[in-house]
Amino acid sequence: MSNVMKPISILRDEFIDKLATVINESGLPAFVITPILKDVLSEVQNAERVQLEQDRRFYEIEKNKAKEQNQAKEQDEKVTTDKE
């Protein structure tokens, strides 16, 4: 079996369907579900912020590594050119 990844649009649609099913089958009234969903939203937003911060740190580290590698490569090329 191949590892074909589902597109985000399909994953999103499936998530919405599953969430709607859980809500509809819960038997809970809307006034109970609403604050639960607000709490879940808050937790997801916090996780999103944490992920963004991690992604930014990782990006800056990788960008700096690439810059250092490019500088080292340029220095090596300059040394090689100077020897010729």
pLDDT in tens, 9-57: 999 999 999 999 999 999 999 999 999 999 999 999 999 999 999 999 9
SS3 7: coil
Taking the C-alpha atoms of residue 15 and residue 47, their distance in angstroms, rounded to an integer, is: 18
Q: Supply 26's token pair.
A: 């819960």
Q: What is the pLDDT of residues 55-80, one digit of tens each?
A: 999 999 999 999 999 988 888 877 77
Per-domain residue ranges of the chain? 28-83
The pLDDT confidence band at residue 83, using thresholds 50, 70 and 90, is low
Decide if pLDDT at 5 tops 90: yes
Residue whose tokens read 């800056």: 60
